[in-house]
Amino acid sequence: MPKREGAPVTLAWECLSNLDDEQRFSARLRLHNASGTPIGAGWALYFNSCRRILPWTVDGGFAIVHVNGDLFRLTRSAQEDWAPGRDYALRYQARFWAISITDAPLGFYLVTAAGQAIDLGDPAIAPFVQPCQLLRHAHDLVPAADAAWRYRENAALALLPPHAVGRVTPRPLEARFDEDARRVILRSGTPLVVRGDAAALAGEIALLRALLGGLPAGADDEDGAAAHIVLECGPVAAPGAEAYLLEIGAGPGGRAQVLLRGASAHGVFNGLQTLAQLLEDDGALPAGRVLDAPRFGYRGLMLDVARHFVGVDTVLRLVDCMACYKLNRLHLHLTDDEGWRLHIDALPELTAIGARRGVPGADEAPCLPPSFGSGAAVAGSAGTGYYGRADFIAILRYANARHIEVIPEFNLPGHARAAVVAMRARHDRLLAQGDAQGAARYRLDDPDDASAYESVQMWRDNVVCIALPSVDRFIETVVAHVAALYRAAGVPLWTIHTGGDEVPAGAWTASPRCRALMRERGWDTVGRLHADFVARCRAILARHGIACAGWEETALVHAGGTTAMPAPPGGHGPGVQVYAWNNAWGSGQEDLAYRLANAGHDVVLANAASLYFDLAHAKDPHEPGYYWAGFVDTRDTFAFRPFAMLDAAAADPMGRPVAPARRAALQRLDAAGRAHIRGLQGQLWGENAGSPARIEYLAAPRLLALAERAWAPDPGWDGIADPAARAAAIGAAWNEFANRLGQRELARLDRAPLDWAYRLPPPGVLCEAAGDATIVHANAAFPGLALHYTVDGSAPRADGPRYRAPLTLAAGAVLKVASFDTRGRASRVVTIDNRMSHHEERHGRDHNGAGGA
């Protein structure tokens, strides 16, 4: 939440040092009463922080208390009015470190002594410039991603001629184009022939008509020939129902023809995406042939709408972008501690309470507390919102028309605070009405539970009591409602994701209901209790004919605080999919995906270290996102090796080399396990995705790299034994893909209807002293991307000078340079002052008025 204009209090925050202690950092918060009137004694400031503040370190006459989750309360020890114009400053320490804007506290609001809540917005954040602010601790070996670092990283890239850059993304199985042949020309009225069942291709026909509708009408170009188009389903010399053949050239009788044959309607749809990429604005197509099929059947993206809600339009835009690059699963993370986003008719409290965040006024219904900077206001908050029946059906139908399966997730038994709080409110309401039986029907918590635990996200009450029969009834009701929505949409429901991750240690240990069930069943650990709950969830879904999916924890057995490998999944029922995510080096689970696959589980690779799109792109203070599993740039996703991911890791998240002995001790994927790797999924968690623009910034262009690895044929890297030769092969492949982005695909994302707010990487810049002058070298992360500059200190513009060769910057001059897309949107600006070292600053806003990062 940005700084609020006219707020009675202004705030400024800075990280002082990360080097005082390896597990904590120090910070300063400054407060200013800008209201012009006193703020009465008894006020409190609330804010969200992803870092736990250590209360005994707070000075300046203040106290900070952890409320729950990421919510903290700051109060003044002295009971006195806060005079207008008065400044306060306090220092404190917090766990771990702060090296970027993401680590700063945010979403401040003032609660007066009378109980009025007033949003203040986010503090001004001081730049991170000193080593003590840029290093996590003394052993952090990851360099800061400043402009000079980017220049060195980009220096390995070379601009390729257009003919050496692939025309289609993701790369097809086979593609060849005849540059000497006459181009084929399409027009808005190009004849279309459908062979076979036209009704089965109704969606594809409509898509093609829309594509043709944007083309010119009229006579042939002198360099081409007007064509007709043939669509059909039939045999394709490539495996799977998504395969297609696209032939562009001379048809029967020598007449120009575009033949698109798919192994199914989905195959035809995929071929149309390729056709759209090959089609130029004037309607020209290159003569050639594409034979294509995906490497993996599962190619997904997970969108978290629980932490921050986004509307239907944003989801549909994401679906369109996914379809363009042949992704076929949208995993919607609909529930978590901070929100429940799907209305369930029988359980209205789930959205009446669980879909609203803020500080309710005296006349408002209860809600969840502010999280991730969502602020005090309930209405209009990024923490408030849900999908009603019509909304969800619209998403299902839209995705289904693009051959994308929507997999809804309802996260249980951990990450469930929104549901627990909502069902407790339902219980209290019905109990007050005298309906004790109805009150207990869907309760999710044991009121006598004295278990002490805290989740990774610092919640102390977010776990469902899995010994209650009412929990099974709750799940059954939700599943039945969701199944009915899919039926109403006319869309098959194949899978529901049950979550299951990150249940904190200590949960259930002091619950009388859980202890009683454990005694009854003869279970000696809560791990057995948890395994029984997972089996019950699977049984409920099976009764509805729905396959079960879950995060990796759902396939593990916990006993005595240790994790044992699960038995083969024969007892779990068909179609169970396990999403393996926590492969960060040092987690102890680097090889867990392979252990699960080798044991017979169907595994979707959702690896944090390569496929978490909520993680920051680089160690740059301006880059939004966490970095607990490392930094994930587009190249990291592109270079992901699904069957050899253990060999690819050279360093841990701190940049320290991974010991060969540690890597050698890990379990490799065996031949049987390889067959159980179903595909890849990118994760876009929502903690730092508080707006549609931020979602698009975090998603792309990493989404394109995900599509490349999930669809394109095996690049053969795993078969190169020599590490240097393998690195060279990966580097050459990356250079071609980076050129594809810079020369083709980013421009495609610029055009309507996508008009995508993707991340524009700031340029790399290197300075060399030349007497009083400075020689400035600049380069782009994606060759072909335009760099524009000024030398008078003004902001660079797309119609200004374009950087093409090193510049000589005279003494006293100020150069500013940025990357630009084809719409004139700029990246962050690099500023070079000949009297000072370069630094980076934010540059304006994009055409939608949203911050560029």
Residue-wise DSSP of 768-799: EEETTEEEEEEE-SSTT-EEEEESBSSPP-TT
Mind listing the pLDDT tens digit for each residue in 577-636?
A: 999 999 888 878 899 999 999 999 999 999 999 999 999 999 999 999 999 999 999 999
| 239-248, 252-261, 642-651, 809-818 — most confident range | 239-248
pTM of the prediction?
0.95
769: pLDDT confidence band, cut at 50, 70 and 90?
confident
In this prediction, residue 219 carries a pLDDT of 53
d(CA 132, CA 27): 12
Catalogue all structural domains in the chain, each as residue range(s) with its CATH number.
9-154 (2.60.40.290), 174-292 (3.30.379.10), 300-649+676-718 (3.20.20.80), 719-853 (2.60.40.10)
Q: What is the DSSP letter of 762?
A: P
Q: Considering 232, 247, 476, 502, which one is annotated as catalytic?
A: 502
In this prediction, residue 563 carries a pLDDT of 54
Mind listing the pLDDT tens digit for each residue in 139-160?
A: 999 999 999 999 999 999 999 9
Q: Single out the residue of 659, 591, 652 nearest to residue 627, CA to CA.
A: 652
Helix intervals (H) in 290-447 = 312-324, 349-352, 389-401, 417-432, 436-440
CA angle 334, 337, 343 (to 5 degrees): 40
Query: Has residue 560 got a pLDDT over 50?
Result: no
Q: How far is CA 175 from CA 124, 236, 245, 327, in A?
A: 52, 14, 10, 20
Mind listing the pLDDT tens digit for each residue in 811-850?
A: 888 999 999 999 999 999 999 987 654 444 333 222 233 3
Other CB atoms within 10 A of residue 599 CB:
19
Query: Has residue 782 got a pLDDT over 60?
Result: yes
Q: How far is CA 691 from CA 307, 394, 757, 852, in A?
A: 11, 21, 11, 11
CA angle 241, 243, 244 (to 5 degrees): 130
How confident is the model over 209-216, as a mean pLDDT?
A: 92
Chain centre distance of CA 807: 38
d(CA 8, CA 376): 14
Range in 25-29, 503-507, 554-558, 671-675 with the lowest mean pLDDT: 554-558
In this prediction, residue 839 carries a pLDDT of 46
Catalytic status, residue 552? no
Percent of the chain with pLDDT over 70: 94
Q: Are 222 and 184 a contacting pair, CB within 8 Å?
A: no
Q: Are 357 and 378 a contacting pair, CB within 8 Å?
A: yes
Those residues whose C-beta lies under 8 Å from the C-beta of residue 661, and which sit 6 or more positions away, are none
d(CA 827, CA 529): 51
Query: Has residue 16 got a pLDDT over 80?
Result: yes
In this prediction, residue 181 carries a pLDDT of 84
Query: Has residue 326 got a pLDDT over 90?
Result: yes
How confident is the model over 562-584, as a mean pLDDT?
A: 65
In this prediction, residue 416 carries a pLDDT of 98
Percent of the chain with pLDDT over 90: 84
d(CA 495, CA 602): 13
Mind listing the pLDDT tens digit for each residue in 220-248?
A: 544 556 689 999 999 999 999 999 999 99
The 3-class secondary structure across 525-575, one letter per residue, is: CHHHHHHHHHHHHHHHHHHCCCEEEEEHHHHCEEECCEEECCCCHHHHCCC
Q: Single out the residue of 757, 773, 642, 776 nearest to residue 710, CA to CA.
A: 642
Q: Are 406 and 330 a contacting pair, CB within 8 Å?
A: yes
Residues counted in the chain: 853
Query: Has residue 706 got a pLDDT over 50?
Result: yes
Q: For residue 94, what are the β-bridge partners?
A: 25, 53
How confident is the model over 390-405, as a mean pLDDT?
A: 98
| 566-580, 642-656, 679-693 — most confident range | 679-693
**Element spanning 833, H or E:** strand 829-833
**Residue holding tokens 């009675």?**
8
How confident is the model over 468-490, as a mean pLDDT?
A: 98
d(CA 701, CA 438): 50
**Element spanning 488, H or E:** helix 469-489
d(CA 835, CA 559): 63
Query: Has residue 561 got a pLDDT over 70?
Result: no
667: pLDDT confidence band, cut at 50, 70 and 90?
very high
In this prediction, residue 363 carries a pLDDT of 73
Whether the bond between 701 and the residue before it is cis, its omega within 30 degrees of 0, is yes
Range in 46-50, 601-605, 660-664, 716-720 with the lowest mean pLDDT: 660-664
d(CA 230, CA 251): 10
Mind listing the pLDDT tens digit for each residue in 63-106?
A: 999 999 999 999 999 989 999 999 999 999 999 999 999 999 99
Mean pLDDT value across the chain: 92
In this prediction, residue 629 carries a pLDDT of 94
- Find the radius of gyration of the CA atoms of the chain: 28
Q: How far is CA 151 from CA 506, 634, 795, in A?
A: 48, 16, 21
Q: Single out the residue of 772, 850, 844 nearest to residue 812, CA to CA.
A: 772
Q: Which residue has the higher pLDDT, 103 or 810?
A: 103
562: pLDDT confidence band, cut at 50, 70 and 90?
very low
Is residue 284 exposed (0-12), middle (13-18) or buried (19+ Cβ within 10 Å)? middle
CA angle 249, 255, 258 (to 5 degrees): 40
